[in-house]
Amino acid sequence: MAERISFSATINGQKIGPMDLPQDLMMVELLQEYLNLTGTRLSCGQGVCSACTIIIDDPDKGSYTVPACVTGVTWVNGRTVRTIEGIAGRDDQGNPVPSPIQMAFLEHFAFQCSYCTPGFVNGATALIERLQRQPIPSDQVEAAVLEALDRHICRCTGYVRYYEAVRDVILSTPGLTTDGPGTDVTAMQEAGQ
Q: Which residues contact ligand FES by CB under 6 A?
A: 42-45, 47-52, 67, 69, 111-116, 154-157
Pick 79 or 151: Cβ nearer ligand FES: 151
**Cα separation values, 141 from 12, 23, 63, 147, Å:** 28, 40, 19, 10
Kindly state the smallest distance separating residue 170's Cβ from ligand FES, in Å.
21
For ligand FES, which is the closer residue by CB, 63 or 157? 157
Whole-angstrom distance, CA of residue 146 vs CA of residue 135: 16
| Residue whose CB is less far from ligand FES, 5 or 49 | 49
In the 8-state DSSP scheme, what is residue 177? B
Give the integer Cα–Cα distance in Å for 136 and 156.
30
Please state the closest distance from residue 28 (CB atom) to ligand FES, in A.
7
Check: CB of residue 165 under 8 Å from CB of residue 99: no
H-assigned helices in 6-54: 27-29
**Smallest distance from ligand FES to CB 82, Å:** 16
Q: Closest approach of Cβ 62 to ligand FES, in Å?
A: 22
> Of the two residues 87 and 176, which places its CB atom closer to ligand FES in the complex?
87
